[in-house]
Amino acid sequence: AQSVTQLDSHVSVSEGTPVLLRCNYSSSYSPSLFWYVQHPNKGLQLLLKYTSAATLVKGINGFEAEFKKSETSFHLTKPSAHMSDAAEYFCVVSAQSNDYKLSFGAGTTVTVRA
Amino acid sequence: DGGITQSPKYLFRKEGQNVTLSCEQNLNHDAMYWYRQDPGQGLRLIYYSQIVNDFQKGDIAEGYSVSREKKESFPLTVTSAQKNPTAFYLCASSISGGASDTQYFGPGTRLTVL
């Protein structure tokens, strides 16, 4: 079985300040982990993914995430928020034992204040 | 321009009607998926298909049906048996359906029951 918990349902930051979105996962097998972003009424866009290579993963638009097996975490960060980062973010886990299934977190809504 | 298209963008259904949502991809991907998204929740898997002429139920298949007659097309029918169909529907595809494959998402269809 696998599951994902996004620890914050809503995060509000000022433009130019760091962003931290927290994600914990559980998986019986070596997981693949993803972060997706969704702007209002749009589909999901992949930000980055971890598949057992480097534990620090760099993605698009200045985002990065660190896989910490001991803490079962995969937190997403960005050093300096931009107004265009306002969106909903989903942490997603996929386990090698189960070919098709992605488990999605409930999402974190990011608001960026000018 | 490769990608996934979904139509229509908005769809309204009367009680007792069946409606069909279209999903087409030109990425030459073998696997395709349908998800349902409700406010404040992550995505839930309705159906998936890893190869033409074969598909499997996901977590919430009741009241839905699919077909996969062509590699590039995976239409979803919302039947009258689905008691609460108002939601945002997202189609996705991946190269082969493997656990570490990235799923690419379409722009979504918003279905409203009148």
Q: What is the pLDDT of residue B77?
A: 97
Contact yes or no for A99/B99 (Cβ under 8 A) = yes
Closest in B40, B92, B102 to A49, CB measured:
B102
Q: Which residues of A touch B108 (CB under 8 A)?
A: 41-43
Chain B residue with CA closest to A29: the answer is B99
**Range with top average pLDDT, A52-56, B39-43, B71-75, B81-85:** B71-75
Give the phi and the psi of residue B29 in degrees, each rounded to 5.
-85, 145
Chain A residues 57-76 with a CB less than 8 Å from chain B: none
CB–CB of A32 and B43 under 8 A? no
Q: What is the pLDDT of residue A96?
A: 63
Chain A residue with CA closest to B31: the answer is A100
CB–CB of B98 and A99 under 8 A? yes
CA distance A84 to chain B (A): 18
Distances (CA, A) of B21 to A42, B30, B88, B89: 16, 19, 11, 9
Could you read off the pLDDT tens digit of each residue along chain A, which spans 114 residues?
788 999 999 999 999 999 999 999 998 778 899 999 999 888 999 999 998 778 999 999 999 999 999 999 999 999 999 999 999 999 999 876 656 678 999 999 999 999
CB contact A96 to B (< 8 Å): yes
Model pLDDT for residues A4-16, shown as the tens digit of each residue? 999 999 999 999 9
HSE, side-chain direction, 13 A CA sphere, residue A7: 11
Q: What stretches of B1-114 adopt beta strand conformation (E)? A: 4-7, 10-13, 19-25, 31-37, 43-51, 54-57, 64-66, 76-78, 87-94, 104-105, 109-113
Residue B61, sorted as left (phi over 0), alpha (psi -120 to 50) or beta, turns out to be alpha
**Degrees to nearest 5, angle at CA A57 with A56 and A63:** 115
Q: Tell me the percentage of chain B whose pLDDT exceeds 70.
A: 98
Q: What is the pLDDT of residue A99?
A: 60
CB–CB of A100 and B97 under 8 A? yes
Average pLDDT, chain B: 93
Q: What is the pLDDT of residue A27?
A: 83
pLDDT grade for B1, boundaries at 50, 70 and 90: low
Model pLDDT for residues A32-47, shown as the tens digit of each residue? 999 999 998 889 999 9
Separation of alpha carbons B41 and B50, rounded Å: 25
CB contact A2 to B (< 8 Å): no
CB–CB of B42 and A90 under 8 A? yes
CA distance B70 to chain A (A): 19
pLDDT of B35 > 80? The answer is: yes
